[in-house]
């Protein structure tokens, strides 16, 4: 049985206690963060962590992020905390930045997917922070979706994937950012961007200078490197996703042509649009700003899928600011199917 706790009106101490008790008992609790919903368990309990992997159907070598509520907790998880990590935390925590550091021995290998490093972040969400504080434990939490599906930005998405399979789901309404945290590896110098996310790369560089970008961030999938998460298919709805990239005006024209071509062939077509209206079978308007697009993207993929479209056409965006994270997620959802509008 799954208990769904409504906390849309804000943190409720009594209800947080119930959820924290589940964490202490080694059970699974899904909770909102500012990025996406997480599927949480005690990060230091091997069995609890293993049940995250089995609930999600996640490969055992794809490591989890550990969530903390107070900066001091970092020293109990990471062996070495460089000055830059402290500076970044001062600027961006709580917030959508995950830092990869050498792990301490007490962090189970199950949590880190066998790696000697550990990923840590402090989420900027009162429900998440209260849950961590109340349980007095670091909480390992991947995005609360079945492995390979779009990340959840509403409790309803978590219910769709996990109802009946986990102990508890805390409903805190829609998540604010909508893409996952930025993952930065600080075990090498210069630091290496492993996953673009809610904190734009440019902001990190303003604080610590140049950051290297892992080739998988922009391009095609590469072999297992330092981020095992990169090699798995992600965010894929059942429909086939196709991205149309190029100059804005040309993209919109090409999208319209493609919508017509699919309709003529009897293929049910959905569109993820940015401001423009398309005469597709289903049209989901993401909004025009980077922030709106990031916030709505995963929800659009899930909803268009539910409406039974065969194909989802998506407009590409520029790869700067949040655009880097948006395109990274879109390309994965599309299995790297891209049409250039020339």
Q: What residue ranges bind ligand TXA (CB under 6 A)?
A: 33, 35-36, 38, 62-65, 96, 98, 100, 112, 115, 117-119, 123, 141-143, 180-181, 183, 194-195, 226-229
Place of tokens 């990025």: 35
Question: Phi, psi at residue 49, to the nearest 5°?
Answer: -65, -40
Residues in binding contact with Mg ion, number by CB under 5 A: 1
Place of tokens 């390309």: 331
Q: Which is nearer to ligand TXA, 216 or 269 (CB)?
A: 216
Q: Which is nearer to ligand TXA, 100 or 193 (CB)?
A: 100
Q: Which is nearer to ligand TXA, 158 or 272 (CB)?
A: 158
CB of 265 to ligand TXA, least distance (A): 36
The total number of residues shown for the chain amounts to 342
Which of Mg ion, ligand TXA, none does residue 115 bind (CB under 5 to 8 Å by kind)? ligand TXA
CB of 250 to ligand TXA, least distance (A): 33
Which of ligand TXA, Mg ion, none does residue 178 bind (CB under 5 to 8 Å by kind)? none
Q: Which is nearer to Mg ion, 143 or 181 (CB)?
A: 143
Cis amide linkage into residue 64, ω under 30° from 0? no
Partners of 282 in the β-ladder: 270
122 CB-side CA count, 13 A? 19
Binding range to Mg ion, per CB under 5 A, among 43-51, 68-76, 139-147, 193-201: 139-147
Q: Which is nearer to ligand TXA, 183 or 341 (CB)?
A: 183
Which of ligand TXA, Mg ion, none does residue 187 bind (CB under 5 to 8 Å by kind)? none
Q: Which is nearer to ligand TXA, 252 or 332 (CB)?
A: 332
How far is it, in rounded angstroms, from Cα 107 to Cα 119?
A: 11
Place of tokens 């210069």: 190
Asked if 117 is part of the footprint of Mg ion (rule: CB under 5 A), the reply reads: no
Pairing of strands 311-315, 269-273: parallel
Q: Are 97 and 204 in contact (CB under 8 A)?
A: yes
DSSP 263-316: HHTT--EEEEESS----SSEEEE--SSHHHHHHHHHHHHHHHHHTT-SEEEEE-
Chain residue at closest Cβ approach to ligand TXA: 229
Which 142-171 residues touch Mg ion, going by CB under 5 A?
143
CB of 121 to ligand TXA, least distance (A): 6
Which H or E run contains 46? Answer: helix 46-56
Calculate the alpha carbon distances from 34 to 38, 88, 104, 179 in Å.
Answer: 10, 18, 27, 9
CB of 284 to ligand TXA, least distance (A): 22
Q: Which is nearer to ligand TXA, 140 or 280 (CB)?
A: 140
CB of 38 to ligand TXA, least distance (A): 3
Q: Residue numbers of the site for Mg ion (CB under 5 A)?
A: 143
């Amino acid at each position: 049985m799954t208990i769904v706790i409504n906390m849309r009106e804000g943190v409720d101490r009594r209800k947080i206690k119930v959820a924290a008790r589940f964490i202490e008992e080694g059970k699974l609790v899904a909770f909102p963060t500012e990025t996406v919903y997480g599927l949480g368990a005690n990060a230091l309990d091997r069995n609890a962590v293993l049940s995250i992997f089995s609930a999600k159907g996640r490969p055992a070598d794809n490591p989890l992020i550990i969530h903390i509520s107070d900066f001091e907790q970092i020293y109990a998880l990471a062996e070495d905390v460089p000055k830059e990590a402290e500076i970044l935390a001062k600027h961006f925590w709580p917030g959508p930045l995950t830092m990869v550091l050498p792990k301490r021995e007490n962090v189970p290998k199950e949590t880190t997917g066998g790696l000697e490093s550990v990923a840590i972040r402090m989420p900027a969400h009162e429900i998440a922070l209260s849950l961590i504080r109340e349980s007095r434990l670091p909480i390992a939490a991947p995005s609360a979706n079945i492995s390979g599906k779009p990340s959840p930005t509403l409790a309803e998405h978590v219910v769709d994937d996990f109802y009946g399979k986990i102990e508890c789901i805390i409903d805190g309404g829609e998540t604010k950012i909508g893409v996952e945290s930025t993952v930065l590896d600080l075990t090498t110098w210069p630091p290496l961007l492993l996953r673009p996310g809610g904190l734009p790369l440019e902001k990190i560089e303003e604080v610590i200078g140049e950051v290297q970008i892992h080739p998988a961030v922009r391009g095609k999938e590469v072999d297992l490197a330092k981020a095992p998460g990169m090699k798995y298919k992600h965010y894929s709805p059942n429909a086939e996703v196709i991205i149309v990239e190029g100059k804005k005006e040309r993209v919109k024209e090409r999208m319209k042509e493609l919508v017509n071509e699919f309709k003529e062939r009897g293929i049910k077509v959905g569109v993820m649009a940015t401001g423009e209206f398309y005469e597709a079978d289903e049209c989901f308007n993401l909004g025009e700003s980077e922030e709106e697009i990031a916030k709505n993207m995963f929800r659009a993929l899930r909803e268009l899928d539910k409406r039974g479209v065969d194909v989802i056409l998506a407009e590409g965006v520029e790869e700067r600011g949040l655009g880097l994270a948006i395109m990274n997620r879109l390309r994965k959802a599309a299995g790297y199917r891209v049409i250039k509008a020339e």
